[in-house]
Amino acid sequence: TKISRHWKMIYYVRMIVLNWKFKMVKPLTARAKAYRHIKQEILTGAFPPGFHLREERLTEIIGVSRTPVRQALSMLAGEGFVYVNDNKRSYVMDVDEESAEEIFDLLIKLEGYSAKLAAKKIDPQKLQELEELHQRMVELSSGDNYNDEIFLDLNAQFHDKVHLLSGNKQLYEMIKKIVNFPTIIYLKFNVRTESDGSIHHHGEILKALRERDAEMAEVLMRMHVAYIKSEYRNIWSNKT
């Protein structure tokens, strides 16, 4: 009948679309799989600060060879999540009070300057991407299904996009190595991220970027990082 032919046609079209979508989704490379697994375990606290990341054990857990594990560890070291000692052994990055103070002082200066450069170069498309990230953080924080791991990842993406917009490759590489440092502190003391303050600051920074106010963007980013530094001090004093 005409009706049955009609539904058969719909069925075939749907199968074609589903098959096309399936082909479009590329499987993760071994390196990406290792990177995602190790980073997730770090962010969830399963691999706490100071944890020895043994390559042979990671290959068994993740189901890949040593080469992609080493590549993933190298990538995470570049992002400040992993420390590789002189004997080539890898550990989840740990912190002490003195080094934390020094790194926060660097972040205040570097991130502030980067935001200043970004305000001069931002375009509507990049601004929209930042605003969408910000909105996702707002929705996550205000909803019933808050997840600290997801919030930390969105926060890292927000900062990374701002610093990429600076257009200064050397500055970006310097920041990239230490910008995730505050996350290690939260993981070390097993405390929940204070999301409301970060969301408010990001909104103010976005406003300055939207208005291409470079001086204000720098001031607001410096204030934002200084706020995180004061939060870190409170965490440290309460836990020690």
pLDDT in tens, 64-118: 999 999 999 999 998 888 989 888 899 999 888 888 889 899 999 999 999 999 9
SS3 of 82, please? Answer: strand
pLDDT at 152: 83
Higher pLDDT, 182 or 10: 182
Token code pair at residue 7 = 């539904």
The average confidence (pLDDT) of the chain is 85
Sign of CA dihedral 210, 215, 219, 222: positive
Question: How far, in Å, CA of 73 to CA of 9, rounded?
Answer: 50
* pLDDT at residue 2 tops 50: no
pLDDT in tens, 202-217: 999 999 999 999 999 9
Helix (H) or strand (E) holding 214: helix 214-239
pLDDT at 236: 76
* Backbone Cα Rg of the chain: 22
Task: Please list the residues that pair with 52 across neighbouring strands.
Answer: 91
Going by DSSP bridges, is the β-strand pair 82-84/90-92 parallel, antiparallel, or unpaired? Answer: antiparallel
Higher pLDDT, 212 or 6: 212
pLDDT at 114: 97
One-letter amino acid for residue 19 of the chain? N
Q: Are 226 and 106 in contact (CB under 8 A)?
A: no
